[in-house]
């Protein structure tokens, strides 16, 4: 069986299941996102260790769970301060270089994926259940559209390298093709999803550009970490696809960018969620 066949046979049912649980929302959605985030944290910790920056064994997950559960916790802020104080008190007395690397990498592994996945949860929770689902599907289709168009646009027209030392295959032509793909993904939701879109086309269109900037930055971040760890994939948990970090790398920064944009629209009165 070819690698492409394995990728397709896994990706189609996995995507269908993911979209179905996204449609269900509520605890079903949260119960899917939190384990995904914790697995990505594990993969990130392994990459950091491979690059010579081994995080603490337990604190990344403690920090990550706190971030992911902020919307559901009473007294979330003081709990977070308590975790921070405990971590610093236990780790700051390691005076060698390894201790300093562990101190820094633990914060990165603890915050990076959970913060992105938290905003993913918050987007699903915007407004009514119908609005939240529409916005979440919008984000996913813009990210997927950006990825697909960037890949094929780069293959067809790519000449000028975007970040040659980090990801030699990425080009500026692919980057601009990705913006078109994100707009196509947005258009599919606006014109094909039966429920009314919660804001105007002109108001939401700049979000496609924002996602087309921060999604690739998330992709480049993953590429840089994997290059530093000298591995091709974050793990082999997904047949033909590598790890969850490999599949969600763009979403981890695209979701916060989209969340901030939606929040801004709400503040200035161009949308009401």
Q: Each residue of 198-213: pLDDT tens digit?
A: 888 999 999 999 999 9
For CA atoms 45, 223, 114, 80, the dihedral sign is positive
Beta-carbon contacts of residue 216 (< 8 Å; ≥ 6 apart): 146, 150, 162, 170, 175, 178, 250
Q: How far apart are CA 271 and CA 265, in angstroms?
A: 6
The helix (run of H) or strand (run of E) holding residue 220 is helix 201-229
Look up tokens 């700049």; give the residue. Answer: 206
**Cα(205)–Cα(12) distance, integer angstroms:** 28
Look over the chain and give the mean of its residue pLDDT values, rounded to a whole number: 90
| 129-185 pLDDT, tens digit each | 999 999 999 999 999 999 999 999 988 888 888 888 888 888 999 999 999 999 999
Predicted pLDDT of residue 26: 93
Query: Is pLDDT above 90 for 8?
Result: no
For helices 97-124 and 26-50, give the axis angle rounded to 10 degrees.
160
Instruction: State the pLDDT confidence band at 111, using cuts at 50, 70 and 90.
Output: very high
Residue with tokens 């970040």: 163
Q: Which residue has the tokens 């929040």?
A: 263
The answer to whether the CB of 117 falls within 8 A of the CB of 258 is no
166: left (phi over 0), alpha (psi -120 to 50) or beta: alpha
What is the rounded CA–CA span in Å between residue 93 and residue 95? Answer: 6
Where exactly are the structural domains of the chain?
3-268
Give residue 3's pLDDT.
Answer: 59
pLDDT, tens digit (0-9, with 9 covering 90-100), for 219-251: 999 999 999 999 988 988 887 678 899 999 999
Longest CA–CA separation in the chain, Å: 59
State the DSSP code for 236: S
Rounded to whole angstroms, the Cα distance separating 50 from 61 reads: 18
Decide if 101 contacts 54 (C-beta within 8 A).
yes
Contact 37, 64 (CB under 8 A): yes
DSSP reduced 3-state for 170 = strand
Distance in Å from the first CA to the final CA of the chain: 47
Q: What is the DSSP string of 7-22?
A: HHHHHHHHHHHHHHHH
Residues in the chain: 273
Which pLDDT score, from 0 to 100, does residue 176 have? 94
DSSP class of 127: S
Question: Per-residue pLDDT for 109 more than 60?
Answer: yes
User: Sign of the C-alpha dihedral, residues 210, 216, 217, 219?
Assistant: positive
**Cα–Cα separations (whole angstroms), residue 90 to 41, 53, 83, 190:** 21, 18, 11, 51
194: left (phi over 0), alpha (psi -120 to 50) or beta: alpha
């Amino acid at each position: 069986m070819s690698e492409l066949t394995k990728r397709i046979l896994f990706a189609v049912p996995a995507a269908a299941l993911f979209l179905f649980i996204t449609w269900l929302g509520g605890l079903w959605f949260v119960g899917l996102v939190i384990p995904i985030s914790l697995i990505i944290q594990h993969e990130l910790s392994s990459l950091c260790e491979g690059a010579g920056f081994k995080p603490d064994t337990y604190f990344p997950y403690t920090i990550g769970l706190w971030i992911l559960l902020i919307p559901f916790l009473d007294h979330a802020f003081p709990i977070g301060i308590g975790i921070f104080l405990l971590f610093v008190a236990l780790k700051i007395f390691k005076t060698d270089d390894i201790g300093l690397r562990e101190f820094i990498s633990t914060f990165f592994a603890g915050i990076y994926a959970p913060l992105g996945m938290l905003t993913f949860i918050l987007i699903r929770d915007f407004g009514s259940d119908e609005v939240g689902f529409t916005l979440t599907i919008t984000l996913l289709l813009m990210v997927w559209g950006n990825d697909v168009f960037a890949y094929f646009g780069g293959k067809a027209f790519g000449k000028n390298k975007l970040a040659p030392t980090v990801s030699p295959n990425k080009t500026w032509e692919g980057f601009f093709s990705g913006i078109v793909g994100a707009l196509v993904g947005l258009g599919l939701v606006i014109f094909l999803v039966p429920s009314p879109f919660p804001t105007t086309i002109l108001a939401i269109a700049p979000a496609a550009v924002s996602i087309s900037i921060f999604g690739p930055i998330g992709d480049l971040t993953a590429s840089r970490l994997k290059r530093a760890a000298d591995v091709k994939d974050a793990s082999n948990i997904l047949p033909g696809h590598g790890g969850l970090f490999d599949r969600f790398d763009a979403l981890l920064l695209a979701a916060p960018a989209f969340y901030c944009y939606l929040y801004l629209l709400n503040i200035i009165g161009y949308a009401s969620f």
